[in-house]
Amino acid sequence: MLVIEKVEKMAAVSRKLRGGGKTIGFVPTMGYLHEGHLSLVGLSKAQADVTVVSIFVNPTQFGPNEDLGRYPRDAEGDLKKCKDSGVDVVFFPDAAGMYPEGYCTYVDVGRVSEGLCGASRPGHFRGVATVVAKLFNIVKPDRAFFGQKDFQQTVVIRRMVRDLNMDVEVVIGPTMREPDGLAMSSRNVYLAPAERAAATRLYAALSAAKGLYSSGERDAGRLKARVQEVLAEEPLIRPEYVEAVDNDMRTAETAGGDTVIAVAARVGSTRLIDNLPLLNG
Ligand code: AMP
């Protein structure tokens, strides 16, 4: 397994791989890897000749009062997990390499970035789109793999790729969960034991809405109300939003096969997100 820190070196390795006819699969991450990330590595290995994982805690996607400074890191553990999972190349740039002195170019994806997490985290998706665009230019993947866990992010990336004619196929992998349903997340490590127990309510609430949908309820307002009801049973949870949207981030009034129920909530001081497609979720 190759570990590359320099942007120019990564670009050169990718150029050579593509020149040699190899297809490149790419899994961008912020590290502190778990089974969610590794499931995307598995998809990439099945669908590309060479798998590149990037590990970069991207400063431009964090707001001034967010957790950039304390975001969990474990370089050694991550490299071991990558190696054990058969990753071919780990790209591990530093902030100065990605955003050198004088850096001033950003990618702003419009409407689909504006609601939900975009509303509560101003500038977040601008940072995400910018770093993913940069990583695509450096790594030059044929296919890039993203998790359903970050649903709005998948919509933003797909929109950016389409709007800017990027020559990358975006593949979305399913959300990996703990046995009790909690969506795996690097941020789960912040949760105190009581908060960790409370956090299972997020998936329970989404599942309750899905259950209602399965029994015939189509009114999105009532499905969202069901989610809020289940969340309200747990005092440690403070919901930020509960929304029903389609795959293009349009608000659903009537739920259908493409409706996704998405939730963000504080559990203690930790902000968690989760979502469930009402069909095939
Ligand atoms: P992150 O390191 O949190 O930026 O995530 C890197 C990639 O892994 C993103 O495409 C995420 O959507 C994806 N990911 C994170 N958690 C999960 C999960 N529980 N299941 C599937 N994919 C995930």
Q: Of 27, 37, 220, 261, which one is the catalytic site residue?
A: 37
Residue 32 CA, closest ligand 1 atom number: 2
pLDDT of residue 280: 77
54 CA → ligand 1 middle, Å: 12
Nearest Cα residue to atom 17 of ligand 1: 36
Same domain, 133 and 248: no
Domain-ending residue, one of 140, 173, 206: 173
Task: Quote the ligand 1 centre to 216 CA distance (angstroms).
Answer: 31
91 in a structural domain: yes
DSSP string, 230-260: HHHT-TTEEEEEEEEE-TTSPBPSB--TT-E
29 lines ligand 1 (CB under 6 A): yes
In the reported structure, the alpha carbon of residue 149 is separated from the centroid of ligand 1 by a whole-number distance in angstroms of 6
Nearest CA to ligand 1 atom 11: 147
Cβ-based neighbour number of residue 111 at 10 Å:
12
Domain that residue 44 falls in: 2-173
CA 264 to ligand 1 center in whole angstroms: 15
**pLDDT of 129 strictly over 80:** yes
Last residue of a domain, one of 150, 173, 196: 173
**Catalytic: 37?**
yes
Number of structural domains in the chain: 2
pLDDT tens digits along 193-249: 999 999 999 999 999 999 999 999 999 999 999 999 999 999 999 999 999 999 999
Helix/strand/coil for 223: helix
pTM to 2 decimals? 0.98
Mean pLDDT, residues 124-133 taken together:
98
48: in domain: yes
* Ligand 1 touching residue 270 (CB < 6 A): no
* 138/67 same-domain check: yes
- C-alpha 82/C-alpha 250 separation (Å) is 36
- CB 124 less than 6 A from any atom of ligand 1: no
Indicate the Cα dihedral angle 85, 23, 133, 56, nearest 10°. Answer: 20
